[in-house]
Structures are given as C-alpha cells and as structure tokens.
Structure 1
Amino acid sequence: MTSVQPSGGSPLEGKVEQALDGGTRPPVGRYRLDLATGEWAWSDEVYLMHGFEPGEIVPTTPLMLSHKHPDDRGRVDGVLRRAAETGQTFSSVHRIRDAHGSTRTLAVTGQGRRDPATGRVTELIGYFIDVTDSHRAAAQRDATASIKASAEHRAVIEQAKGMLMAVYGVEELEAFELLREASNRTNIAVRDLADRLVELIAGPDVTVFPTREAIDAFLKDPEVPVDS
C-alpha cells in the first residue's frame, strides 16, 4: 500500500492484519480523515476501489458519501459522526457506486485520534477493505444451497404424488390436489407433508405397504400414528 501511512501501530491495525491473515487477501487501503477540514487522505488502493486513478481527485466527505449506495448512505454517515464524537473503534459494511457506475461492497474500519492538548478527536484513521468478491461468493453459496434445497423439496413432492397416483388411481394434478388439501387442512407445508408420506409408505422401517384406509387416515390427520 502507498500514499497514506498512519504513524505508529494500533490495536486496530493488528486486528485488521489478523483478520486478513491466510487465504486470498482482498484489496485493503488506508485512509485518514481530518475532522476539521473534512478532507480525506487515501492510499492508492482506496482511489482504485472508488474507480479513480490515484491522486485523480481530492477526496472529501461529501464526495465520499455521494458514492455510497443510497440505501446505505445515511447509515455510513451516522457511523462516521458517532466515531468523530467518541473516537471509539468502529466498523461498517456498505455498498458504493464507483466512478464507473459499478456497485462494490466495502468494509470500513477505523478509530479516532485525539489531540493530546485538548483531548478532542481530531482525525479518524483506518482501512477500507474491498469485500465485493467474498460477498459475491457467499451469495453464490447461498443461492446454490437454496436451489439444491428447492430441488430436494420438488423431488420428494414428486415422489409423494407418484405414490398417491398409485394408491388412488388418479392423475398427477389430482394427486397434488390431495396433498394441497391436506396441507391447508392441517397447516403443514406441502413439502413436509410429502416427506412424511414418503416416510410412511417407503421409509426404511416399513415392511408392509400401508392400506388405502391408512393413507386416508394420514391425509386426514398426519399427526395421528397410522396402523398399516
């Protein structure tokens, strides 16, 4: 990293370095905010995160906030104001729209530095960390898990419909309607009802195929134990 070098080590710096230790390290840049002037000093990495070439613009608080996502802007402004008042360590994750119009996700962490003579917080120092890729990866993992779970739910519903078609000699839509009606009557989700039905008919402990009367009883009240 270049350009901005807050003097001296700090607990914050140690925490950031520890958090980033190991694995693929996301882009990290330093900043310093002069609370008297509202001007920022950015390392080259922070310029690049915001879509600028290093030194291309003079970073100020209004400019920085203008790049925050509208839904996150008020929250970030509040975090900075509280930090300026208290000087306490802070952190926040928010979205920005860089100079090219792309949306990125940044984590900002920092702490106040006080004037030894007055005790007033005069500047904030800390880091911007570009976590866009890690957030995308997490979102992809969540989406994959959701798709997998949805596929599993559909599979068990299809299996249950097939069993009802065989038991009652009905078509696919009628079999699903039997499940849906039982779901509405018992307030049990269709997928959960289907899972229980499959377990009843073809579970690992089943040795005798349930009678039609047993299936009727199950659909009427799945909570009551069914005798085959």
Structure 2
Amino acid sequence: MVSGEWAWSDEVYVMHGFEPGQIVPTTPLMLAHKHPEDRARFDGVLRRAAETGATFSSVHRIVDAGGGTRTLAVTGQGRRDPASGRVVELVGYFIDVTDSHRVAAQRDATASIRASAERRAVIEQAKGMVMVVYGVEEAEAFEVLREVSNRTNVAVRDLADRLVGLIAGPGVTVFPTREVIDAFLKDPDNPEPPTTNG
C-alpha cells in the first residue's frame, strides 16, 4: 500500500517463509526480501505504480525467511481516492512461479547441452573426413579446419557442417575426392559438388 503497510494473504506469508500473521508486512520488509540483483528494479516498479496508479507487473526473485530463493510474479494496479484523484492504495497478486522457472531453466540447459553435443558431433565427422582424405592425425585434421575457419571467417562448426554436407546431400553415393575436399577448403562458399555414380 502507499502508506508502506501491506495486507498479505496467508499464501504470500508462506511464499516469504513466514507463518500467516507472524510479521507485519511493510514496504521496507518486502524490499529487504527481494533478491539483491532484483531489488532496485522492483522498487522502481512500486514507485511508478504509487505515483501513477497504472497497472504494474514484475517477475523477480525473493530470498525467503529461510534463505531460499523463490521467483514471484506480481501484478496489480493503483486505486485512487475518488475525491482527490490521488493514488491511495496498490492492490495486486503474488504468484509463485519458482517451479515453472526451474523447469524452463532445466529445459533450456538440456537444449543447450544437446545443441553443443550436435555441434561437437558434426565437427568430429568433419575431422574424420579430413583424416581419411589427407592421412593425418586428429589434431592435424582439426588444425586444418581451424586454419580454414580463420582464413574465411567461417565458424568451425559451420565449416564442419558444410563439409559433412558434401556427403550428406541427395544423390551422393561416393566419398568426395581429395580434389573436391581441396576445392572446398580453398573456398567453402563455392565448393565443387562430389561426383556420383550412375
């Protein structure tokens, strides 16, 4: 509320790690529980809402009374005194979205790990192609790819993807010749297609 005193539901007390009615909720207390990295932003949201009465919303972290971190979504708006038009109260809802944020973070991490594994896999395949064609060891094969990457300003993973594409295209039935690989490494943007049987 604009006065600095708040009325919390039992659920909001629990979100903050308290028994219902255990403490008197105030703006300073509430801000003290905001995660240090989110506190200033949330304070700004409240101040603007108290000044304008406009609808407000925020997703931010709190540190509950037990030291645990939770993620809350808050939405609300100001209420004005009909006579003066001044904002006299902020009303709204707290929603605990900790679990959904955790699931989303895990999903993002899993996707990132999967993408990283896929990038590594295509680089390994490209190194294998270079090893076969040039008869070099793995470290030398990677050095070949890295040199071409530096010279052409094409990321190694993208270069590897294009190189592997030479044997993954439709109608490709033979491994590219050394000449085709030479041409590709000389100019990855204009590689010669491998020959096909038939």
Q: TM-score range by the shorter chain?
A: over 0.9
Aligned partner (choices 119, 122, 128) of residue 94 of structure 2: 128
Deviation of 1:160 after TM superposition, in Å, equals 1.0
Name the counterpart of 2:17. 51
Deviation of 1:70 after TM superposition, in Å, equals 1.0
Unaligned runs of 5+ in 1: 1-32
**In structure 1, what residue type is equivalent to 2:36?**
P
Matches within 5 A, 1:1-228: 33=1, 35=2, 37-228=3-194
Deviation of 1:116 after TM superposition, in Å, equals 1.3
**In structure 1, what residue type is equivalent to 2:75?**
T
Distance in 2 separating the partners of 1:148 and 1:227: 30
Unaligned runs of 5+ in 2: none
Contact 2:167 2:176 in 1 (8 A): yes
Structure possessing the higher relative contact order (Cα contacts under 8 Å, 6 or more residues apart): 1
Secondary structure at the aligned position of 1:201 is classed as helix
Distance in 2 separating the partners of 1:156 and 1:51: 48
Secondary structure at the aligned position of 2:70 is classed as strand
**In structure 2, what residue type is equivalent to 1:47?**
Y
Output one character per residue of 1:159-190: Cα deviation in whole Å (capped at 9) or x when no partner. Answer: 11111111011111111111111111111111
Distance in 1 separating the partners of 2:47 and 2:193: 67
**In structure 2, what residue type is equivalent to 1:171?**
E
**Alignment identity in percent?**
83
Distance in 2 separating the partners of 1:59 and 1:227: 71
**In structure 1, what residue type is equivalent to 2:172?**
V
Contact 2:180 2:191 in 1 (8 A): no
Question: Which ranges of 4 or more aligned residues in structure 1 deviate by more than 3 Å?
Answer: none
CA-atom RMSD, angstroms? 1.1
Distance in 1 separating the partners of 2:36 and 2:134: 57
Deviation of 1:227 after TM superposition, in Å, equals 4.6
How many aligned residue pairs are there? 194
Deviation of 1:113 after TM superposition, in Å, equals 0.7
Deviation of 1:224 after TM superposition, in Å, equals 1.3
Moved more, 208-217 or 107-116: 208-217
Deviation of 1:217 after TM superposition, in Å, equals 1.4
Distance in 2 separating the partners of 1:202 and 1:103: 48
Secondary structure at the aligned position of 1:126 is classed as strand
Give the TM-score taking structure 2 as reference length. Answer: 0.94
Distance in 2 separating the partners of 1:202 and 1:82: 58
Distance in 2 separating the partners of 1:117 and 1:75: 31
